[in-house]
């Protein structure tokens, strides 16, 4: 057979590294599309002049765009037969990605655990995105539940990796020469500094966006993510296309501009859960909670640890979990990340 | 509160200048998206070679794209609490915008007048778009009706600016080195020169476009216009998203290629009215009327003053106003502008 | 009348060359949009690094994008009054198109034949796409059935060109310096070489895409194709917008990555039929058949002659024609082309 059936749980080996296909050179076109698909307004990604004023050569592409491009390449090898995308950890952005860079991805299998039903198992991979100079631009761990092809296939021995519950500030890789010493709050859109945010503070980002099929498919295709469920209305029994979880991440992050305009660059991803599926027609809103704050080694640059929650319209304010500890049905995303903020 | 509630009528002061947030660097991506979202075919924006033949360095971005980017930045400060966008005047394009330019916007409050009901007022602003060299690339006056936050807030004294009913040709700023002396009518698509158009002549542009939600939202997002009503289907009681008036302007202007292919560059905006709201599913058509003609100081370059009217499918030909002087319900846009045309 | 009514059958003259309007400069934006609109993953178009490794300067734009841009310019002169797009032949890609190139088109009328009903006729044109150096980047013959304006107009004498049933490998123009001697199969996504494909082999490309109105309209507009039937929901009696046949070609070609990832560049188009109309909401799948194989003069570069068939969801596997020799109603496209493949 010439076509790719995807890998099944029994096809993974602990420690193997998979070199994913189809490198991608990024142009201004991807940046413009990102701005057309999401209400993204963080100034460092929008203006070469603003980025230059922070010590960068030009405006990098949105950190989440880099994430999606790296992630998309892993889909044919990791999640084509996935039942669920279970979580993320230890994500770090190692250097900004600029127009002209060519990205590729590789993933190392760092954990495998068969489910007790014998029909599937959990695969843990550490994925790295590399540029044309073979420098790592970002890395993250994710784990997915993957079907077995043959229920009687022998399962590899269980190995569950120890993952850090949070990326500590000492592990941040701040972009070279980045500083917020001449940060222009007026051009950035809000006056709030690190010191203006309190741990525990919650911010309702107010705005909402109703999603169309064409938009989430164009976004997901742009990342060369090939998962059938996002594109083929005949794939699910209910005739609905499931929206790529990363689309919701980017949408929520963009909405969070309103209240977090100065949370300019994402430096680490601590954890993330796609709590409920999202479909076209849903109106998505977002709220954030300040989980922690930190200084960094770069001049004028602090960091906010933020919980970013995407919800469907109609959710109670700051909706998250019910008394049973489970996510409320209106919650789409619960993301835990660090962003760089002027002190 | 960290999020932006927008300004209310009582928050404006006559003479103040607001520096709008989020500068934007333009790439070929924005240009390609403009061509994907509108049936734009004017050759000067489409081909570097054609533009070079007219004395320009490369093809500038569409003049309306520059307008939308400048306009979009003003929305969070000017029209977030607007009830209606009432009008435009004294618009001038001061120099072409090219790929690589970074635009920002600032608006000066030039007029304020409370409505007699005491619940709202009209704010007049003169907005300038500036590039990375702090040169003005375009400017225009617009006035919007803005809600008051507190009905009892004291209103500033009424001050209504005197606005020119039309930009006179002496005030045009023709792009440096522009000439139409070796204009290629074949590549441009039509043979018609300035002299071929008669004042009073009306042109039915024939073609129609049925608008989709994804298209107008992508366009409006691309301009970083954040007005909720364009994106959030839960915002209006009828569950419909209002289409950004500028989307209709660009659509009508692009449709006007058929009959006005040589009306290459917009040099001034005299007036404009969004006569009725536009929604996804509407099929938009356009017609133009030649209002005036003029020579200019540039070699071979004349100017046509044009009324550009966008209507919904089913409107009577050249539909505009009823016997009562009010716009017919099928009329979406009545725009009055000057464009440069070969003599 | 200032607007373009299009040409009718009686307006064409054998041997005349029509220089089509509106040249177009291509940027990274068009490339990004191509990746957003189609699930395109062939590595040579995606990565400058990969293309450089094959002897090219940078990643060219997708060969079909070049085709669509050249084709789109011909629509106002050739097919505005077309009843049907009947066929293609003798298509050759003469050199890769890169970001920064400016394309224009010209068509020579090589055949004319009135239909027996006297109401229409078939127009054969050889169309060339040229770049800013006046080099031909691609050429093809197509023939369309065009309405007469006046049934009593005298028809030109019948002249039907002799067209090659297939472009022979000796006629291929392989891109200068192209070689597949250090071809990276891992980055390309599949291990299959020329020798791994058998003549007569059929490949079901597995994946499906459900098309949205916004997507096909954005694509078709991007090629500056102005045919009303693609954009105006009021144009057809059934209120449906007909999808540009080229959209289906690009969609099917992109889907064929899964099984033909190494069929990197299109070098010739032998024939093509748009067997049935396609509409938004259709879920499109694709299959291919290996029709022939060949060596080429370039190091490591072979060629596969492929039949690419696009079908609607629900079609029988490898659906093509019925016992009556007619295309099955689920078949959208039957395309015959040559692609370059590593030996």
In chain C, where the domains are located: 9-179+191-342
Of residues C49, C192, C258, nearest to A102 (C-beta): C49
pLDDT for residue C111 = 98
Could you tell me if C308 and C330 are in contact, meaning their C-beta atoms sit under 8 angstroms apart? no
Q: How far is B108 from chain C (nearest CA, A)?
A: 34
Q: Which residues of B touch A99 (CB under 8 A)?
A: 27
Interface residue of C7, C19, C21 to substitute, partner B, most B CBs within 10 Å? C21
Q: Which residues of C touch A28 (CB under 8 A)?
A: 27-29, 32
Could you tell me if C142 and C88 are in contact, meaning their C-beta atoms sit under 8 angstroms apart? yes
Tell me the pLDDT tens digit for each residue of C73-94: 999 999 998 999 999 999 999 9
Q: How many helices (H) and strands (E) does chain B have?
A: 8, 12
Tell me the pLDDT tens digit for each residue of C193-213: 999 999 999 999 999 999 999
Using DSSP's 3-state secondary structure scheme, residue B87 falls into: strand
pLDDT for residue A3 = 96
Q: How far is B230 from chain A (nearest CA, A)?
A: 9
**pLDDT for C156 beyond 80:** no
CATH topology of domain C9-179+191-342: Thiol Ester Dehydrase; Chain A (3.10.129)
Q: How far is A36 from chain C (nearest CA, A)?
A: 11
Q: Cβ of A22 and C208 within 8 Å?
A: no
For residue A283, list its beta bridge partners: A210
**A touches which chains (3+ CB pairs under 8 A)?**
B, C
Tell me the pLDDT tens digit for each residue of B272-302: 999 999 999 999 999 999 999 999 999 999 9
Torsion of CA C164, C167, C171, C177, to 10 degrees: 160
CA distance C101 to C132: 7
Q: Which residues of B touch A287 (CB under 8 A)?
A: none
| DSSP string computed for A153-194 | SPPPPPB-----SS--GGG--PPTT---TT--HHHHT----G
As a whole number, the mean pLDDT across chain C is: 97
Q: Cβ of C224 and B313 within 8 Å?
A: no
Domains A1-26+61-150 and A188-343 are alike in CATH topology? yes
pLDDT for residue C151 = 86
Q: Cβ of B222 and A30 within 8 Å?
A: no
**Whether CATH 3.10.129.10 fits B189-343:** yes
Using DSSP's 3-state secondary structure scheme, residue C101 falls into: coil
**pLDDT for C271 beyond 80:** yes
Task: Classify B37 in phi/psi space as left (phi over 0), alpha (psi -120 to 50) or beta.
Answer: alpha
pLDDT for residue A308 = 98
CA distance C189 to C171: 29
Measured between its terminal Cα atoms, the distance across chain C in Å is 57
Of residues A22, A27, A102, nearest to C41 (C-beta): A22
For residue C129, list its beta bridge partners: C105, C138
Q: Cβ of B47 and C23 within 8 Å?
A: yes
**pLDDT for C1 beyond 90:** no
Using DSSP's 3-state secondary structure scheme, residue C96 falls into: coil
Q: Could you say which of 3.40.50.2300, 1.10.490.10, 3.40.50.1860, 3.10.129.10 is the CATH number of the domain covering A188-343? A: 3.10.129.10
Tell me the pLDDT tens digit for each residue of C223-247: 999 999 999 999 999 999 999 999 9
Q: Cβ of C31 and A28 within 8 Å?
A: no
pLDDT for residue B56 = 98
Interface residues from chain A to C (CB-CB < 8 Å): 2-4, 19, 21-25, 27-30, 32-33, 76, 99, 102, 104, 132, 212-215, 217-219, 221-222, 224, 226, 228, 231-235, 241
Q: What is the CATH number of domain A1-26+61-150?
A: 3.10.129.10
What Cα–Cα distance (Å) separates residue C242 from each residue in B57, C203, C220, C238, C256?
Answer: 39, 28, 11, 10, 23
Q: Cβ of A232 and C209 within 8 Å?
A: yes
What Cα–Cα distance (Å) separates residue A241 from each residue in A173, A214, A234, A278, C160?
Answer: 37, 11, 8, 9, 48
Q: Which residue has the tokens 């005047």?
A: B89
Give Dmax (Cα) for chain C: 63
**pLDDT for B93 beyond 80:** yes
Q: How far is C265 from chain B (nearest CA, A)?
A: 23
Tell me the pLDDT tens digit for each residue of B97-128: 999 999 999 999 999 999 999 999 999 999 99
CA distance C235 to C232: 5
Complex ipTM: 0.96
Q: How far is B207 from chain C (nearest CA, A)?
A: 7
Q: Which residues of B touch C231 (CB under 8 A)?
A: 39, 207-210
Tell me the pLDDT tens digit for each residue of A198-221: 999 999 999 999 999 999 999 999
DSSP-derived letter for residue A66 is: H
Q: Cβ of C228 and B215 within 8 Å?
A: no
Handedness of CA C146, B186, B26, B244 (dihedral sign): negative
| C193 burial type by CB count under 10 A (0-12 exposed, 13-18 middle, 19+ buried) | middle
**pLDDT for C255 beyond 90:** yes
Interface residue of C34, C49, C205 to substitute, partner A, most A CBs within 10 Å? C49
pLDDT for residue C154 = 87
Q: What is the CATH number of domain B1-26+61-149?
A: 3.10.129.10
**C touches which chains (3+ CB pairs under 8 A)?**
A, B
CA distance C209 to C213: 13
Q: Which residues of C touch A233 (CB under 8 A)?
A: 210, 283
Could you tell me if A38 and A249 are in contact, meaning their C-beta atoms sit under 8 angstroms apart? no
Nearest residue in A to C44, CA atom? A22
Q: Which residues of B touch C241 (CB under 8 A)?
A: 210
Of residues B4, B33, B241, nearest to A33 (C-beta): B33
Q: Which residue has the tokens 């020169």?
A: B193
CA A59 vs. chain centroid, Å, equals 19
Q: How far is B101 from chain A (nearest CA, A)?
A: 9
Q: Cβ of A233 and C210 within 8 Å?
A: yes
pLDDT in tens, chain A (343 residues): 899 989 999 999 999 999 999 999 999 999 999 999 999 999 999 999 999 999 999 999 999 999 999 999 999 999 998 999 999 999 999 999 999 999 999 999 999 999 999 999 999 999 999 999 999 999 999 999 999 999 899 877 789 999 999 999 999 999 999 999 999 999 999 999 999 999 999 999 999 999 999 999 999 999 999 999 999 999 999 999 999 999 999 999 999 999 999 999 999 999 999 999 999 999 999 999 999 999 999 999 999 999 999 999 999 999 999 999 999 999 999 999 999 999 9
Q: Which residues of C touch B187 (CB under 8 A)?
A: 19, 21-23, 104
């Amino acid at each position: 057979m010439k076509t790719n059936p995807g890998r099944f749980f029994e096809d993974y080996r602990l420690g193997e590294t998979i070199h994913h296909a189809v490198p991608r050179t990024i142009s201004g076109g991807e940046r413009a599309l990102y701005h057309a698909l999401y209400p993204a307004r963080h100034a460092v990604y929008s203006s070469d002049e603003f980025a230059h004023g922070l010590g960068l050569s030009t405006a990098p592409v949105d950190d989440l765009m880099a994430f999606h491009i790296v992630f998309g390449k892993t889909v044919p090898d990791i999640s084509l037969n996935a039942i669920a995308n279970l979580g993320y950890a230890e994500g770090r952005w190692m250097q900004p990605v600029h127009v002209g860079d060519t990205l590729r991805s590789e993933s190392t299998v760092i954990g495998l655990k068969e489910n007790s039903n014998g029909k599937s198992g959990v695969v843990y991979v550490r994925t790295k995105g590399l540029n044309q100079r073979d420098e790592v631009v970002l890395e993250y761990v994710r784990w997915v539940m993957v079907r077995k092809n043959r229920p009687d296939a022998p399962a590899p021995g269980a190995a569950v990796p120890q993952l850090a519950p949070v990326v500590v500030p000492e592990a941040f890789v701040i972009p070279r020469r980045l500083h917020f010493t001449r940060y222009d709050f007026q051009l950035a859109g809000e006056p709030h500094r690190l010191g203006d945010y309190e741990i525990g503070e919650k911010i309702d980002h107010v705005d909402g966006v109703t999603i169309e099929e064409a938009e989430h498919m164009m976004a997901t295709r742009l990342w060369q993510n090939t998962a059938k469920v996002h594109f083929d209305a005949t794939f699910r029994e209910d005739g609905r296309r499931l929206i790529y979880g990363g689309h919701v991440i980017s949408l929520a992050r963009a909405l969070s501009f309103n209240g977090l305009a100065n949370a300019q660059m994402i430096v680490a991803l601590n954890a993330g859960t796609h709590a409920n599926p999202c479909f076209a027609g849903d109106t998505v809103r977002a709220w954030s909670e300040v989980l922690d704050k930190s200084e960094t080694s770069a001049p004028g640059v602090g960091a906010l640890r933020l919980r970013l929650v995407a919800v469907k319209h109609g959710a109670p304010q700051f909706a998250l979990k019910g008394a049973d500890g489970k996510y409320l049905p209106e919650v789409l995303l619960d993301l835990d990340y660090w962003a760089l903020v002027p002190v």
